[in-house]
Structure 1
Amino acid sequence: MSRPNPLLAGLRGRCPNCGEGRLFQGFLKVAPSCDACGYDLAKADSGDGPAVFVILIAGFLCAFAMLFTEIAYAPPIWVHVVVFLPLTLGVCLGLLRPLKGVMLAAQFSNKASEARHD
């Protein structure tokens, strides 16, 4: 059996080791171990990395769309609130889980761990 691409497995929310088990337990909480292969996922910590990338990507997309709409159509402010507030929320929530999976998979594939001096 060949090993899966860990980054694609992380993008799908699957174990970076086997590609079968779930990476998450809930929306963003990392599972303690893989259901399929028993790989220890508890040591994973992505920190604030996924949130930073989500802010940059969603901010660029939504701010560009908002500015384009404002310049092209000049709608009232309530249109911006009604359209772009849910759009921004949806883009942020839609990107957060896949990007966290990719960051965790990159951490596992590069054998990165936190440095400790106990």
Structure 2
Amino acid sequence: MSATGIEGTPMEEAIKSDERELWPAVWKGFRRKCPNCGSGPILKSYLKVRDTCTVCREDLSHHRADDGPAYLTILIVGHLMAPLLHVAFTTWRPEPLVLFTIFGLGCVGLSLYLLPRLKGAIVAFQWARYMHGFGSKA
């Protein structure tokens, strides 16, 4: 119900239509696509966010991802690789150099895969929640 007690007023409909859905936007960002249109690339290099979308011209320059993607990458890689390392060591008892090589490459590879995707997801989250100047709710 609106503040005036009247539902379905034009102002209330405008506010509802201006809402951005969170999870579709985050998924588009994780795929490294524009959170608005889902077509244009959000990144212009490995981690550099474009100022505007090349397809829909959405302004993306307001993002403040900072260290968030790196923290999330460390959190995810650590929580995946540490139990796997323990299981591999207790089950097969490989040579330390073999274990280090396999898990070192696994950690680096997974980190390089996740980092740009998590940066896109964080920028899309900020876009969907109107954070840091990504527009204002009507």
TM-score by length of 2: 0.76
2:71 corresponds to 1:59: no
2:51 corresponds to 1:32: yes
Where 1:21 maps in the other structure, the secondary structure is coil
2:118 corresponds to 1:99: yes
Deviations 1:31-80 (A, max 9, x none): 11100111111111211111111111101111111111111122111111
Residue from 83, 87, 109 that aligns with 1:90: 109
Q: Which runs of 5 or more structure 2 residues have no equivalent in the other structure? A: 1-19, 134-138
Q: Which runs of 5 or more structure 1 residues have no equivalent in the other structure? A: none
Structure 1 residue 8: deviation in Å? 1.7
Which protein is bigger by CA-based radius of gyration? 2
Question: Percent sequence identity over matched residues?
Answer: 34
Mapped to 1, the partners of 2:38 and 2:80 lie a distance apart of 30
Match of residue 131 from structure 2: 112
Match of residue 71 from structure 1: 90
Structure 1 residue ranges, 4+ long, deviating more than 4 angstroms after superposition: none
CA RMSD of aligned residues (A): 1.6
